């Protein structure tokens, strides 16, 4: 069972996205996707030789916008996810780049596994992360 990041990290998510994960024939995963996968994030201007991939992890939601917590609940190819900036040291960098409509990719290493678009800013604008 997945422990929601808000409980684990003691704060709100930074922003929310709508996403579309790539199918295997598009270069996406060939295995079942599970909650807790630590896809990283790259901005839409990410290039093929670019290594600007950030530890911003998704936490997938179900159709009721609730965090998927059950191990057997399938993560769908499209949906919404809460996004969590893991490295507080670069939070200000992301504050200047993330806004509603910002587009990016969910990444496994240097491989694009899906695309996403910011739909809501939640806790990103909080200056200091209280733990």
Domains of the chain, first to last: 5-120 (2.40.30.10)
* CA distances in angstroms from 94 to 8, 49, 55, 99, 119, listed in the order given: 22, 21, 11, 9, 15
The Cα 19–Cα 77 span in angstroms is: 8
Q: Are strands 111-121 and 15-21 parallel, antiparallel or unpaired?
A: antiparallel
pLDDT digits 0-9 by tens, 31-90: 888 898 899 999 998 665 566 899 999 999 999 999 999 877 788 999 999 999 998 888
What predicted TM-score, i.e. pTM, was given to this entire model? Answer: 0.89
14 with 55: CB under 8 angstroms?
A: no
Measured between its terminal Cα atoms, the distance across the chain in Å is 23
100 with 15: CB under 8 angstroms?
A: no
């Amino acid at each position: 069972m997945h422990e929601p990041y808000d409980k684990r990290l003691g704060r709100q998510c930074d922003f929310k996205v709508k996403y579309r994960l790539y199918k295997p024939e598009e270069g996406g995963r060939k295995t079942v996707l599970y909650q807790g996968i630590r896809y990283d994030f790259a901005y839409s201007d990410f290039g093929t030789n670019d290594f600007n991939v950030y530890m911003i992890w998704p936490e997938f939601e179900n159709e009721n916008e609730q965090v998927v917590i059950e191990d057997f609940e399938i993560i769908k190819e499209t949906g919404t996810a809460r996004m969590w900036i893991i490295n507080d040291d670069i939070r200000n960098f992301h504050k200047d780049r993330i806004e509603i409509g910002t587009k990016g990719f969910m990444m496994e290493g240097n491989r694009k596994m899906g695309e996403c678009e910011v739909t809501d800013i939640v806790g990103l604008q909080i200056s200091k992360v209280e733990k």
